[in-house]
Structures are given as C-alpha cells and as structure tokens.
Homo-oligomer: A and B are copies of this chain.
Amino acid sequence: MIPIAAFVGKSNSGKTTLIEKVIGELTRRKYRVVSIKHTLHAFEIDHEGKDTWHHRKAGAVMTMISSPAQIAVIESVARDYSIEELCRRFVTEADIVLVEGHKETKSPKVEVSASESIDDLLCLEDEQLIAIACDTHLGLHVPCYPRHRGDLFADLIEQRFLKGT
C-alpha cells in the first residue's frame, strides 16, 4: 500500500500553498508524488466547448482524454469516495500520496492552522496527527513548523514514510 499523508485545516489556512511546496520538494528529491484534493463542493475541471466537455454534457458517465503525455478522467459518482478507495482504484505507481482536505480520513495527517491559538485546532485529539503547520510555536506533542517551511514537512514525510523505499 502506498503511504498517504493528509494536509487538513480550516478554509484559508494555507493548505494549498503548503502542499504545493511539499510536492515540489519531494519531486526534487525524485519521489513520485500523487496528490488528491478533496472537496464537498461541485467543481468544474474541463473547459466549456472542448470535445470532452461536449461528451460529458451529452450524458457520458465517464469521459477520458488520452494523449502520449497525459491522461485525464472525469467521472460522475453517486457518493463520496474515501482516500483509500481512490488510491486503490486509480493509483498504480507512486511513492507517496498527499491529500488536501478530508480531515475525517484515518490516514496520518498534518494540520495547517493560520491561528495562533491551540483552541482553533481541529485535530488535536486525533491519533493520526503527526505534525502541525503553524507560524506560532504551540508546544504540543507533535512537531510544529512554520507554514512556509515545505522543506521541513518534506523531511518529516521522507523520514516517516519514504526512507528505505
């Protein structure tokens, strides 16, 4: 099973900015990173007027576009899939899966917080919490690094999940 680490936190806590840095750092270290963004909202990923957009609009339950360099798949589903299900279904080759969102996941997680207060944390009681990204040092039982230090979170993930692979 490919290891999974989730970056969770409130809206506008800086999750995307941090995960982007961690992806970049691990990619530079030659790991193959898969990322998963979880959202409860509807999203539009295709461009109006494109062929694939026409296929979807006509009713296709799944549309793919395939080229020698890239494959994209858009599928209608009837329920929210867990991260583990998504990985089993779609991920074949990767060293690490980084997730943005999905704080209910049972995977190890980093909480990203823009607040200076412990009281604002969502996952303090979560046994899967492995670190906190916060610009104030909170003095907790898990490592706490500033949100802009993608390198330190990459170190942590590398040490914990990737050494020896």
User: What residues make up the interface of A, taking CB atoms closer than 8 Å to B?
Assistant: 16, 19-21, 23-24, 26-28, 32-47, 50-52, 54-77, 79-81, 86, 89-94, 98, 100
Decide: A80 near B51, CB < 8 A? Known: A59-B33, A60-B34, A72-B74: no
Q: Are A63 and B42 in contact (CB under 8 A)?
A: no
**Shortest Cβ distance from A27 into chain B, in angstroms?**
3
Point out the residue from B45, B67, B77, B81 that lies within 8 Å of A47, measured CB to CB.
B45
Provide the bound-state CA to CA distance between A34 and B64, in Å: 8
Protomer copies: 2
The CA-CA distance from A93 to B21 in the complex, in Å, is 36
Best-surrounded residue of A40, A71, A75 (most CB of chain B within 10 A): A71
Across the interface, name the chain B residue whose C-beta is closest to A73: B73
Cα-based distance from A36 to B55 in the complex (angstroms): 9
Contact B37 A65 (CB under 8 A): yes
Docked-complex contact A65 and B43, CB < 8 angstroms: yes
